[in-house]
Structure 1
Amino acid sequence: MTDAAARDFADEVEILADADRVWALLSDPATMPKASPELFSVTRLSRHRGPFRVGERFVGWNRRKAVVWPTVSRIVTVEPGRELSWHTTTSGAVWTYTLTPTGETTILRETRQMPDGAPRFATWFGNTLLGGMANHADELETQVSATLAWIKEHAER
C-alpha cells in the first residue's frame, strides 16, 4: 500500500441550521445510505433501534459499479450535537463527523483517518477489485464532499 492510499483526508461545510438539526440527520442510521455515493445500506448487528450507540456494530453495504462488498464497523464516539465516529475494521478507516455551532450555522466536518493502515485483505480487495487503493482513496475523498452536500441540503430544508 502506498502513502497515497493510507492518507487521511477531511472536508467541511457550513450549514444554515443549528447543531441539533444537523445532529438529527447525522445520528439517524438511515441517513448515510442516502447521503453516501458508495454506501447503499446499513445492517445493524444489534436489536437496538434509534440513534447509534457507542460500541454498536453494523455492516455497511457498498457498491462501486458491478462490485458489491460489506464492511464491518463499530461506533467509537457518540456525543450528541458534537461528534459521531466509527471504526471500519475491514478497511482500517476511522470516519468522524464533528459539529461546531457558530451561532445560526453549524460547521460539519467529515474526516477519514487510517491510523493503522489498511488490513492485508482490504489492500488485496482494493487493488484487485477497485482499481487500486490509492485510486479508491481518491474516490472516497471526492465522495466526502457529496455526502456533506447532501446533509447540508437536507438540514437546511
Structure 2
Amino acid sequence: MTTSAASRDFSEEIRIDADRDRVWAVLSDPATMPEASPELFAVTRRHGPFKVGERFVGWNRRGAVVWPTVNRVLSVDPGRELSWLTKTSGAVWTYTLTEDDGATILRETRQMPSGAPRFATMFGDALLGGMANHADELETHVSATLAWIKARTES
C-alpha cells in the first residue's frame, strides 16, 4: 500500500529544560491548547482534566475558513502520554514525554492509520488548497506548537 502525501505520518521532538511534570501541566491543560496551535482557536468540552473516551470539538481557522473537528481521547498517562483521534480527519495526534537528564523530551506525532475519510479529502481539496498542502502546513504547525510549549514551560 502506498501512502499519499496527504495521509503521511510525521513527528517531531524538542528538548525542554523543565521537568516532566511542568511540561505535562502545560500540555494537558485544554485551555492552553488554542494558544499553542497555529490553527486551533477554541476547544468545546467538559471541564477538568482529559479522560480516556472523552469527546471534544476543536475549532480551527485558516484565513476565512472555519471548521470543527470531532475528537476522542485515546490515552491519558499523566507525565508520559496524551493522544486523541480526530475522527473528522482520521488523524491520531500523540504527545509523549520522556525524561532526559533533568529535562524533558516532548514528541508530537500525527499518524493516519486508515488514511483521510472521504469528507475530509473533499473539504481539504475544496477549502484548504488540497490535503497534501494542508498536511505540509500541519507539519510546520507541529514545530510551532512544540516551540510554544517549550517557551511556556521554560519561562
Q: TM-score, normalised by structure 1?
A: 0.96
**Correspondence 1:48-127 to 2 at 5 A:** 49-127=47-125
Deviation of the 1:51 alpha carbon: 1.4
Q: How many residues align?
A: 153
Structure 1 position 103, deviation (Å): 2.3
Residues in 1 aligned to 2:55 and 2:152: alpha-carbon distance in whole angstroms: 26
Gaps of 5+ in 2: none
Alpha-carbon distance in structure 1 between the residues aligned to 2:49 and 2:26: 10
Are residue 4 (structure 1) and residue 10 (structure 2) matched?
no
Distance in 1 of aligned mates of 2:93 and 2:82: 8
Aligned to 1:152: 150
Alignment partners' CA distance in 2, 1:39 and 1:90: 14
Which residue pairs with 2:24 in the alignment?
A: 23
Q: CA RMSD in A?
A: 0.8
Q: Displacement, 1:50?
A: 1.8
1:38-90 residue CA offsets vs partner (Å, 9 max, x unmatched): 0000001xx4x221010000000000011000000000000000000000000
SS in 2 for 1:22: helix
Letter in 1 for 2:148: W
TM-score by length of 2: 0.97
Alpha-carbon distance between aligned partners in 2 of 1:89 and 1:137, rounded to the nearest angstrom: 16
**SS at 1:74 equivalent:** strand
Measured in 1, the distance between the counterparts of 2:135 and 2:114 equals 15
2:126 to 128, 139, 157: 128
| C-alpha distance in structure 1 between counterparts of 2:102 and 2:14, whole Å | 14
| Superposed CA offset, 1:116-141 (max 9, x none) | 00111000000000000000000000
Post-superposition Cα deviations, 1:12-56, rounded to whole Å, max 9, x if no partner, equal 100000000000001110121000000000001xx4x22101000
CA distance in 2: counterparts of 1:34 and 1:23, whole angstroms: 15
- Which residue in 2 is equivalent to 1:39? 40
SS of the equivalent of 1:52 reads coil
Among all aligned residue pairs of Structure 1 and Structure 2, give the percentage whose two residues are the same amino acid: 77
Aligned-partner residue type, residue 141 of structure 1: E
